[in-house]
């Protein structure tokens, strides 16, 4: 096994539910594990001590970046994998990663995070890429909440880093995959977390002024509280600014804005997203959303066209958007419009997707080919 000079850095507070599995999956790779505890009252530190002796305490000051940067400072290695306690390592291609570390010494590596969540009673996976692998000499965290990895212009002594000063952040794709299970918590846990995040985001907004990314994160937190009206307001503010459509969070914000409109039953207003179709229809998620918008406006032919197009696209975030979920909605439209054979054809294409299986059992109770 190729052992890389990497420190896995994390911060924790009352994470006994997740931390053992997180550390258990890291241990076989022999990376240094640095854990900074911000005030746990459960068994978090006790469990962590079975896997690392690099455990530190940091007084919580409502600033995630401050805690994460403190963790970076305790590491013995310069290359950092920043990981949360509710994230489980699924895979690392060590040989490829070593080559990339040599090719991109001043760049940040974007890892794949698979967010597991429940939607309509079904377990779903959303795939996102985030900058979490980097050399601490050139990068650190910024932002009190929903902190981001950003370029450093000076070293720890305040001396300008001439190789990177005034250069924009550059990224590369790091062959690392994590499974995020934090959304598996109870409704009350999710509610408390969202309310905490909103309070921190609003406080940061007061100090920074108008910021599209903060508006996006506020909207996301409100959506998790099912407060779609407030989420709509935050997304509206974010999208009214001069945003860069190539940024991943902007794509997500546009799609979340569309889902807010559907949840608020503002179907006609949602049709206005056709005006930015050519900009954002670069992955299946937006095309799938447009299918839902047409579907809710009773424009069924256009809806079917969008869902079928989604199945031909390789880029996606939520798993199933470009396959069984899109085919299922085509089946629903065909069934509702009386085209039963066509409906069954598309339900069959959904494979083991349970809602499709239920419809097939109802439409063809004696079985289907």
Residues, the chain: 369
Other beta carbons less than 10 A from residue 208's beta carbon? 12
Tell whether the model's pLDDT for residue 364 goes beyond 90: no
Tell whether the model's pLDDT for residue 159 goes beyond 70: no
pLDDT tens digits, one per residue of 188-212: 888 999 999 999 999 999 999 999 9
pLDDT of res. 166: 60
Strands 148-151 and 139-142: antiparallel
Per-residue buried b or exposed e for 12-27, using 16+ beta carbons within 10 Å of the residue's own CB: bbebbbbbbbbbebbe
pLDDT tens digits, one per residue of 74-88: 999 999 999 999 999
Mean pLDDT of 344-367: 91
Mean pLDDT of 220-242: 97
Are 145 and 120 within 8 A, CB to CB?
no
Are 211 and 205 within 8 A, CB to CB?
yes
Q: What is the DSSP letter of 153?
A: S
Higher pLDDT, 318 or 153: 318
The average confidence (pLDDT) of the chain is 94
Tell whether the model's pLDDT for residue 91 goes beyond 60: yes
Which residues are CB-neighbours of 346 under 8 A, at least 6 positions away? Answer: 327, 328, 330, 331, 334
pLDDT of res. 183: 86
Other beta carbons less than 10 A from residue 50's beta carbon? 10
Identify which of 181, 238, 191, 227 has the alpha carbon closest to the alpha carbon of residue 25. Answer: 181
pLDDT of res. 239: 97
Tell whether the model's pLDDT for residue 99 goes beyond 90: yes
Mean pLDDT of 307-321: 97
Mean pLDDT of 357-366: 87
Give the position of tokens 């401050």. 66
User: Please, which residues bridge with residue 179 across strands?
Assistant: 88, 114
Query: What is this structure's pTM?
Result: 0.88
pLDDT of res. 157: 65
Tell whether the model's pLDDT for residue 123 goes beyond 80: yes
pLDDT of res. 328: 98
Tell whether the model's pLDDT for residue 369 goes beyond 60: no
pLDDT of res. 137: 95
pLDDT of res. 164: 60
Are 340 and 322 within 8 A, CB to CB?
no
Q: How far apart are CA 22 and CA 133, in angstroms?
A: 17
Tell whether the model's pLDDT for residue 367 goes beyond 70: no
Strands 79-82 and 122-135: antiparallel
Report phi then psi at 77, rounded to 5.
Answer: -105, 150
pLDDT of res. 47: 98
Are 20 and 92 within 8 A, CB to CB?
no
Mean pLDDT of 320-332: 98
Mean pLDDT of 79-98: 97
In whole angstroms, what separates CA 200 from the centre of its chain? Answer: 19
pLDDT of res. 153: 78
Q: What proportion of the chain, given as a percentage, has pLDDT over 90?
A: 87
| Sign, CA torsion 135/105/132/50 | negative
pLDDT tens digits, one per residue of 174-190: 999 999 999 887 788 88
Other beta carbons less than 10 A from residue 68's beta carbon? 22
Tell whether the model's pLDDT for residue 293 goes beyond 70: yes
Helix (H, G, I), strand (E, B) or coil at 42: coil
Mean pLDDT of 107-136: 92
Are 148 and 134 within 8 A, CB to CB?
no
pLDDT of res. 204: 92
Tell whether the model's pLDDT for residue 122 goes beyond 60: yes
Mean pLDDT of 249-253: 96
- Two tokens, residue 230: 């407030």
């Amino acid at each position: 096994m190729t052992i890389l000079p990497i420190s896995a850095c994390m911060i924790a507070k009352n994470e006994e539910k997740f931390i053992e599995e997180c550390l258990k999956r890291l241990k076989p790779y022999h990376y240094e594990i640095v854990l900074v505890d911000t005030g746990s009252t459960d068994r978090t530190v006790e469990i962590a001590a079975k896997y690392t002796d690099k455990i530190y305490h940091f007084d919580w000051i409502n600033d995630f970046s401050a805690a994460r940067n403190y963790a970076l400072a305790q590491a013995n290695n310069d290359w950092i994998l920043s990981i949360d306690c509710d994230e489980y390592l699924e895979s690392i291609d060590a040989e490829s990663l070593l080559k990339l570390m040599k090719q991109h010494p001043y760049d940040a590596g974007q890892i794949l995070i698979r967010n597991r969540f429940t939607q309509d009673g079904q377990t779903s996976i959303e795939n996102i890429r985030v900058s979490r692998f980097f050399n601490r000499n050139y990068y650190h965290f910024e932002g009190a909440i929903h902190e981001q990895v950003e370029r450093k212009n000076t070293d720890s002594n305040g001396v300008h880093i001439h190789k990177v000063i005034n250069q924009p952040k550059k990224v590369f794709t790091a062959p690392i995959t994590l499974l995020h299970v934090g959304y598996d918590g109870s409704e009350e846990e999710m509610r408390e977390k969202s309310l905490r995040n909103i309070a921190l985001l609003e406080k940061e907004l007061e100090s920074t002024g108008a910021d599209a990314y903060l508006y996006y994160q506020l909207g996301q937190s409100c959506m998790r509280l099912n407060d779609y009206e407030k989420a709509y307001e935050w997304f509206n503010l974010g999208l009214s600014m001069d945003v860069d459509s190539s940024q991943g969070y902007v794509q997500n914000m546009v799609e979340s804005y569309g889902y807010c409109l559907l949840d608020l039953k503002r179907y006609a207003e949602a049709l206005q997203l056709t005006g930015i179709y050519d900009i954002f229809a670069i992955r299946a998620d937006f095309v799938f959303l447009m299918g839902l918008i047409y579907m809710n406006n009773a424009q069924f032919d256009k809806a079917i066209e969008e869902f079928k197009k989604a199945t031909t696209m390789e880029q996606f975030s939520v798993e199933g958007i470009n396959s069984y979920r899109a085919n299922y909605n085509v089946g629903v439209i065909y069934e509702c419009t009386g085209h039963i054979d066509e409906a069954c054809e598309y339900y069959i294409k959904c494979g083991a997707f349970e809602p499709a299986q239920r419809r097939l059992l109802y439409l063809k109770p004696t079985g289907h080919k």
